[in-house]
Amino acid sequence: MSTAGQVIRCKAAVAWEAGKPLVIEEVDVAPPQQHEVRLKILYTSLCHTDVYFWEAKGQTPLFPRIFGHEAGGIVESVGEGVTDLQPGDHVLPVFTGECQQCRHCKSAESNMCDLLRINTDRGVMISDGQTRFSKDGKPIYHFVGTSTFSEYTVAHSGCVTKIDPQAPLDKVCVLSCGISTGLGATLNVAKPTRGSTVAIFGLGAVGLAAAEGARISGASRIIGIDLNPSRFDAAKNFGVTECVNPKDYDKPVQEVIAEMTDGGVDRSVECTGHVNAMISAFECVHDGWGVAVLVGVPNKDDAFKTNPMNLLNERTLKGTFFGNYKPKTDLPSVVGMYMNKELELEKFITHQVPFTEINKAFDLMLKGESLRCMITMGH
């Protein structure tokens, strides 16, 4: 029986207030409006960004809210004007989008869509300023346009990527955020050549994805830098050849790396969001050709300080957003890399829980024990 055009009642994990365990509730999910699609979520994973906004320590709290933005699912129905997606399509919802009309979307150099780029403060749909989620007639807010901690969700069609239906959604769903961000930072922005040296700052899931990109590129040395030495053994599975804990030295880590690499690495990728790590990542690249790429999101009051001579001596500093991938245009080819066995995803998925135990995924991440915890919706 078709549910198109009808309200769907389903289970969702609702955050009623900051930092409190999510509650599995029965919620109503309205039909998709113009340029929207309603998705049946089959698998979702927890990303640190969900935890950060659930804790609501650094931003305006917006509750009740349904978090979640790394997921895989199937299109249930489409709203008016949607032509590139249809019911039954296998898809990845993405926290940023591609309207395909703005200057950014038409530029080969940018993926920062004017209409659909990430907005963490907005809890409603763009088209009418309303939520599609409600309980007992009261709105429940969206998160980054995806809200995948629900059996059904509604997203703008520009934030939904159609993928190969043969691709296992419980693996490729991690490509809808962190893994693509780190991988693309290396492959699309740092662009290390075969035999080069690469430093990766931060060995969480994004940093390990950046290391995976360096491994795929044929880097000869991949140096992982992290303050948590318990991450070092696992990092070897992602191509990291040696690890450095800045706490073990009484001088700046950029000097340590320069000594290890005869003047500096060819490329560095910073995945922590700490401004001092960003400065170290820039200052540890070799003069003349070194390129540093910033991935981690800093605190809003941070300032990046370095001597301008570091730039004049022909070091390059770059930033990236979502690995410079355009969600609809580029993500299918990243899924293709996995299907062709060029990219390994299984090793990123360290834990699995049923949807009813979603709070366990939060506990694992808060303890630093998981890379990605796969949550099975269990329709």
User: Is 79 in contact with 33 (CB distance < 8 Å)?
Assistant: yes
Q: What separation in angstroms does the CA of 256 have from each of 91, 210, 223, 265, 267? A: 44, 21, 11, 11, 15
What are the residues facing 375 on neighbouring strands? 44, 353
257-308, pLDDT tens digit by residue? 999 999 999 999 999 999 999 999 999 999 999 999 999 989 888 999 999 9
Q: Which of 209, 190, 240, 189 is nearest to 70 (CA)?
A: 209
62-115, pLDDT tens digit by residue? 999 999 999 999 999 999 999 999 999 999 999 999 999 999 999 999 999 999
* Proportion of the chain above pLDDT 70, given as a percent: 99
At residue 80, the pLDDT reads 98
174-183, pLDDT tens digit by residue? 999 999 999 9
Model-level pTM? Answer: 0.96
d(CA 202, CA 200): 6
pLDDT(378) > 90: no
* Vertex 271: Cα angle to 266 and 276 (nearest 5): 85
Interval 54-59 mean pLDDT: 83
Domains and CATH numbers, the chain: 8-176+345-376 (3.90.180.10), 182-320 (3.40.50.720)
At residue 58, the pLDDT reads 67
pLDDT(322) > 90: yes
Q: Residue 364: count other Cβ atoms within 10 Å of its Cβ.
A: 18
Interval 47-69 mean pLDDT: 91
Burial class (CB within 10 angstroms; exposed 0-12, middle 13-18, buried 19+) of 20 = exposed
Q: What separation in angstroms does the CA of 114 have from each of 2, 161, 372? A: 35, 18, 30
Tell me which DSSP letter residue 229 carries: G
222-249, pLDDT tens digit by residue? 999 999 999 999 999 999 999 999 999 9
Task: Fill in the amino acid letter for 263.
Answer: G
Burial class (CB within 10 angstroms; exposed 0-12, middle 13-18, buried 19+) of 103 = exposed
User: What is residue 132's three-state secondary structure?
Assistant: coil
Contacts of 367 (CB under 8 A, 6+ apart): none
Tell me which DSSP letter residue 21 carries: P
At residue 2, the pLDDT reads 87
CA 293 to chain centre: 16
Kind and range of the H or E run holding 166? none
d(CA 96, CA 117): 5
Alpha helical stretches, state H, the chain: 48-55, 103-106, 169-172, 178-184, 205-217, 232-235, 253-260, 275-283, 309-312, 327-339, 358-366
Q: What are phi and psi of 212, to 5 degrees?
A: -60, -40
Q: Annotated active-site positions, please?
A: 47-49, 69-70, 99, 102, 105, 113, 117, 177, 372
User: What is residue 94's three-state secondary structure?
Assistant: coil
Q: What are phi and psi of 55, to 5 degrees?
A: -70, -30
Q: How confident is the model at residue 59 (pLDDT cuts 50, 70, 90)?
A: confident
Interval 338-360 mean pLDDT: 97
At residue 299, the pLDDT reads 84
